[in-house]
Structures are given as C-alpha cells and as structure tokens.
Amino acid sequence: MNFFLETLQVMVLSIYYLLEAFVKLFIPTRRKNVAGEIVLISGAGSGIGRLMSLEFAKLGATLVLWDINQDGNKETARLVKENGGLRVYTYQCDCSNKTEIYRVADQVKREVGDVTILINNAGIVTGKKFMDSPDDLVQKTLEVNTLAHFWTYKAFLPAMMASNHGHLVSIASSAGLIGVNGLADYCASKFAAVGFAESIGLEMLASGKDGIKTTIVCPYFITTGMFDGCQSKWPRLLPILDSSYAAKKIVDAILKEQVYLVMPRSLYFVFGLKNIVPVKLGLLLGVYFGAFNFMDHFKGRSKND
C-alpha cells in the first residue's frame, strides 16, 4: 500500500476507534467466564493478592497461591475455602529466586495443570532515599518486582501459546509510569515491569497469539500496609485507594480484558500531561500533586510483617 492510502486508512480507523471507545463508555462491557481457569497469584499471602484470591474464588476459578510467607498464604487459602472456594493450592515460593520459581512452577504443572491466568502481584518496597538503600534490598526489589515476571512468563507462557489461550496480569504501580522522589529502586522495578508486560503483549499480538490477553495495573497508594505512613496532599484529587475497592477493580479489569488499569482515574490526566507539558510546568504540577513529599512519612510494613 502506498503512503497516501495507508495514511488515509489510519486516519479513518483512528476516528472509528475513538468513536467506538466513546460508545463503549455507555454500554456494559462483556465479562469473561473464569470458572475452571487456573489462576496463579503471586504474593497471595496478604493485601491485594489475598483480596483478589477471594474474588476469583467466588467466580469458580481454581486458585494457585504463591507467597514466601507460608502462614499468610495458608490463611488466604482458609479464607478462600470459608468463602466457597473449592479448588485452592498453596505453594511457598521465593519469587526473588529464579531456580525456586522454575522448581515450584514445575510442581504446579504436575499437581494442578497449566496456569491460564498468571497474576504477578508479589512486591516489595525499600522506602529509603537511593543513597541510603542497602545494595541487597535494591537488588531484591528488582528481583521480586521485575525479574520474577520474566521467569514466571518463561515457565507458564509456552502452554498458553500452544493453546492460544491465557491472560498475563502485571500488578505494577503508578510509580511505573512516573518517577517519585524517594522511590528510585521501586519506580525502576515498576517501570521495567510495565515495559516488559507491554512488550510481551505486543509480541503475542505480532505472533498471532491474540488469545493471550494482557492487563497492566498501575494503582496509586492502596491501604494494604505496604505504604503505611504515606500521605496524599490532595486526597480528593488523588485518594489513597481502599484495598477491597482496588482488588475488585483489578479483577473486573481482568474479566473485561482491559489492557491498562490506572487508579484513581485522575491519574490518567496526570500521565497524559506528563509527556506534553514543558519540564518546568511538569515540576510545578509535581509539587502541586505532592510528588516530592509522598514518601516523607513512609513507615511501610513492620519487620515482623
């Protein structure tokens, strides 16, 4: 096709897709049925991982729960069963360790079957200024928040590709779309997680594997304890998200096969502006939204947690 025709085609389709997106705002979106799907959730032993497990159990999915914290993971399984979940399997897995991920993944394939919805949710945060962050914690942050995604994809993607059926979910962060003062290693790990998930999503489409969906989740602070102490400067504009609300929205985005979920909605506006306004204006808005001070009162989880 020549340049003129292809450009015309793109312009016509752009208008069509914009209109389609607008119309879809007013009509309910179809949700997929996940009954019988094998859903693996890493970091299921607390927070969002636990709450998503409860949501998926209600929908009749088979649950494979991974966490480094065996007690937390068992407690999630107990709650899942108490709430009617029938098939739930727990595995202790340190997601910072590639060998362990591959070993436990093989065990899951033998004992449960091929995972069809993979949710990379396990995450940690150092919560210190970069020069105060111990090297081993910086490394661990990248191993858990990013590299674990590579190894879990390597383990579970082949079966999804063979059947052209599956869903890859990355619980990233709004800190994966914009830098934050005092969160250098965390932001780097989440930017990488977003880039990785986005690229593999494209790789699946380009290789004709359109039955493998991608959902990339970028929330602001959630009340799970991970970012305890952090405050929002303008809670009406940028509210700290309730953990049950966030988990429900994430599961709903997966059911709708939504590619990106950014929460709260006001952040779509912030990220849209980020790349088009002059740098000085971007900094002014950063100060206005509190991005320089988000971490000032960070406590995070206590060591025992």
Ligand X SMILES: NC(=O)c1ccc[n+]([C@@H]2O[C@H](COP(=O)([O-])OP(=O)(O)OC[C@H]3O[C@@H](n4cnc5c(N)ncnc54)[C@H](O)[C@@H]3O)[C@@H](O)[C@H]2O)c1
Task: Provide the annotated active-site residues.
Answer: 186
- CB under 8 Å to 293, separation ≥6 — which residues? 181, 233
Nearer to ligand X, 116 or 126 (CB): 126
Rounded to 5 degrees, φ, ψ at 89 are -125, 130
Q: First CA to last CA across the chain, in angstroms? A: 59
HSE-up of residue 31 (Cα within 13 Å, Cβ side): 12
Q: How far apart are CA 111 and CA 90, in angstroms?
A: 11
Q: Is 139 in the site for ligand X (CB under 6 A)?
A: no
Other beta carbons less than 10 A from residue 114's beta carbon: 15
Nearer to ligand X, 43 or 166 (CB): 43
Of the candidate residues 37, 59, 63, 67, the single one contacting ligand X (CB under 6 A): 67
Q: Is 72 in the site for ligand X (CB under 6 A)?
A: yes
Nearer to ligand X, 55 or 94 (CB): 94
Other beta carbons less than 10 A from residue 87's beta carbon: 15
Among residue numbers 190 through 249, which ones bind ligand X (CB under 6 A)? 219, 221-222, 224-227
Q: How far apart are CA 22 and CA 27, in angstroms?
A: 10
Kindly write out the interface string for residues 73-112 of this chain, putting x where it contacts ligand X by CB under 6 A and - elsewhere. Answer: --------------------xxxx----------------
Q: Is 39 in the site for ligand X (CB under 6 A)?
A: no
Nearer to ligand X, 61 or 218 (CB): 218
Tokens found for residue 120: 């990379």
> Which chain residues interact with ligand X by CB under 6 A?
42-43, 45-49, 67-69, 72, 93-96, 121-124, 144, 171, 173, 219, 221-222, 224-227, 301
